[in-house]
Amino acid sequence: MTHPTLPGHPHIAYQGDTLCIENVRVDDLAATYGTPLFVYSQAAMQDALAAYQRGFAGRKLHICYAMKANSSLAILQFFAEQGCGFDIVSGGELERVLAAGGDAGKVIFSGVGKTRAEMLQALQAGILCFNVESEAELEELSAVATAVGHIAPVSIRINPNVDPKTHPYISTGLKGNKFGIAHERTLAVYQRAASLPGLQVVGIDFHIGSQITETTPYLDATDRLLDLIEEIEAAGIPIHHIDFGGGLGINYNGDTPPAADTLWAQLLAKIDARGFGNRQFVIEPGRSLVGNAGLCVTQVLYLKPGETKNFCIVDAAMNDLPRPTMYQAFHAIAPLQVRAEPAQTYDVVGPICESGDWIGRDRSLAVQAGDRLAVLSTGAYCMSMASNYNTRGRAAEVLVNGAQADLIRSRETAADTFRGETLRARTAA
């Protein structure tokens, strides 16, 4: 009997023939809480965070967890307890940070489309920094801040025009992307920012993309960033912090991204050589902190043999796991209980009425109806991107720590999904 290879993390592994997450049998959790069910390992998140902390040992660093990757309250609570701040992209995310006990003073606010209301909300909460993405936003933010007698701390996101060599939808640092300010315009925009009454320049930032598995794009972007800092500071505008964004990839399917500490050893060597080593640094990792800490348990409903394909129909779907259909992403799929029978090749699909509702294609599985499967590397950009399509309630979530398993989100009911909707009053015929 061969055990499937798991790409994830040592904290998610077979003990005998049974898949365990830390010291808990995943099957037991599924029996208790039902499926689909997301399960996360706290130890895996801790290890991922520790790799960054090691990489920056002895430096001034703010880790702002990019909470769009997984914004469940207990996950945020964990990162807040570890001393992290948060990279947010909406007023809703700021409310989540506060609800989880996070500190607004450690929040940076990214995104190309901040509304006036969101700017006001963030100013009143006292966030650390607005990462501004356009000249128009700079003017708007200054006006909003001035109107309420605040000064907005700002960093300007520069677009270094480097190719992160990732999926086009998650590549953000190229000229044709909507993000950031062209590096040729940077000095002029900083001069404008420094002259506006409602702003105080505090930093500079970039974020070049996501699921990056090579070091070179970071090295190139860092060189450009440091050139710009020299230029801006020579013009008399001090830059207090340097924010390198997020983007480090994880192993989904044999991918070999550098470890966070290895990546940062290389980047910091360059930064030191150029004389910037004692600055205040900020990073915004998302996926690399949570992606391989999570799995999604799903139950096989039916096996459907076909002429050209065999289908394994499961109870999780594209509303729970949108990455395969959105980005043709690969997630490993492994049984919770290893079976002795020979494997067959299946397309693993969900119940949603779309051919795009697939979770894995051409997967070799020894499986029967009623078995449970784990969809791996699903800690990032799965629950946070889940929808209610087909009026499917979103899944429950469990956070495991050693032998302890806590339900951190209960399963949504159908009634939850239409809360807030109203019928119109009947008019007499």
Q: Is residue 133 involved in binding ligand LLP (CB under 6 A)?
A: no
In the complex, least distance from residue 52 CB atom to ligand LLP, rounded to whole angstroms: 11
Beta-carbon contacts of residue 234 (< 8 Å; ≥ 6 apart): none
Neighbours of 421 (CB within 10 A): 6
261 by Cβ neighbours in 10 Å (0-12 / 13-18 / 19+) ranks as: middle
* Of the residues 106, 224, 323, 372, which one makes contact with ligand LLP according to CB under 6 A: 323
* Of the residues 26, 48, 69, 399, which one makes contact with ligand LLP according to CB under 6 A: 69
Q: Is residue 114 involved in binding ligand LLP (CB under 6 A)?
A: no
Site track 220-259 with ligand LLP (rule: CB under 6 A), x = hit: -------------------------xxxx-----------
Q: Which is nearer to ligand LLP, 284 or 315 (CB)?
A: 284
Number of residues binding to ligand LLP, judged by CB under 6 A = 20
Q: Is residue 349 involved in binding ligand LLP (CB under 6 A)?
A: no
Active site residue 312: no
In the complex, least distance from residue 310 CB atom to ligand LLP, rounded to whole angstroms: 27
Q: Is residue 376 involved in binding ligand LLP (CB under 6 A)?
A: no
Distance between CA atoms of residues 200 and 142, nearest Å: 9
| Phi and psi angles of residue 104, each rounded to the nearest 5 degrees, phi first | -60, -30
Q: Is residue 379 involved in binding ligand LLP (CB under 6 A)?
A: no
Distance between CA atoms of residues 112 and 101, nearest Å: 26
Q: Which is nearer to ligand LLP, 35 or 378 (CB)?
A: 378
Residue 147 Cα to chain centre, angstroms:
34
Q: Which is nearer to ligand LLP, 287 or 409 (CB)?
A: 287
Q: Which is nearer to ligand LLP, 300 or 386 (CB)?
A: 386
Q: Is residue 319 involved in binding ligand LLP (CB under 6 A)?
A: no
The interface region with ligand LLP, picked from 21-29, 47-55, 286-294, 355-363 by CB under 6 A, is 286-294
DSSP bridge partners of 286: none
Footprint on residues 10-49 left by ligand LLP (CB under 6 A): none
| Phi and psi angles of residue 140, each rounded to the nearest 5 degrees, phi first | -65, -45
The interface region with ligand LLP, picked from 7-15, 119-127, 205-213, 305-313 by CB under 6 A, is 205-213
In the complex, least distance from residue 156 CB atom to ligand LLP, rounded to whole angstroms: 13
Following DSSP, what letter does each residue of 233-299 receive, concatenated? HHTT----EEE----B---SSS--PPPHHHHHHHHHHHHHHTT-TTSEEEE---HHHHGGGEEEEEE
| Structure token digits, residue 115 | 């509304």
Q: Is residue 288 involved in binding ligand LLP (CB under 6 A)?
A: yes
DSSP 8-state secondary structure symbol assigned to residue 3? P
Q: Rounded to the nearest 5 degrees, what angle is found at the Cα of 36, between the Cα atoms of 80 and 315?
A: 155
45 by Cβ neighbours in 10 Å (0-12 / 13-18 / 19+) ranks as: buried
- Could you check whether the bond before residue 305 is cis, i.e. omega within 30 degrees of 0? no
The interface region with ligand LLP, picked from 114-122, 145-153, 207-215, 273-281 by CB under 6 A, is 207-215
In the complex, least distance from residue 166 CB atom to ligand LLP, rounded to whole angstroms: 9
* Of the residues 51, 94, 104, 170, which one makes contact with ligand LLP according to CB under 6 A: 170
* Of the residues 198, 286, 335, 360, which one makes contact with ligand LLP according to CB under 6 A: 286
Distance between CA atoms of residues 58 and 54, nearest Å: 9
Q: Which is nearer to ligand LLP, 216 or 364 (CB)?
A: 216
Q: Is residue 96 involved in binding ligand LLP (CB under 6 A)?
A: no
In the complex, least distance from residue 406 CB atom to ligand LLP, rounded to whole angstroms: 24
Q: Which is nearer to ligand LLP, 233 or 255 (CB)?
A: 255
220 by Cβ neighbours in 10 Å (0-12 / 13-18 / 19+) ranks as: middle
In the complex, least distance from residue 179 CB atom to ligand LLP, rounded to whole angstroms: 7
Q: Is residue 66 involved in binding ligand LLP (CB under 6 A)?
A: yes
Half-sphere exposure of 327 (CA within 13 A, CB side): 17
Q: Is residue 87 involved in binding ligand LLP (CB under 6 A)?
A: yes
DSSP 8-state secondary structure symbol assigned to residue 174? S
Sign of the alpha-carbon torsion through 223, 224, 230, 233: negative
Distance between CA atoms of residues 272 and 268, nearest Å: 6
Which residues are known catalytic residues?
353
| Residues in touch with ligand LLP (CB under 6 A) | 66, 69, 87, 110, 170, 207, 210-211, 245-248, 284-288, 323, 327, 381
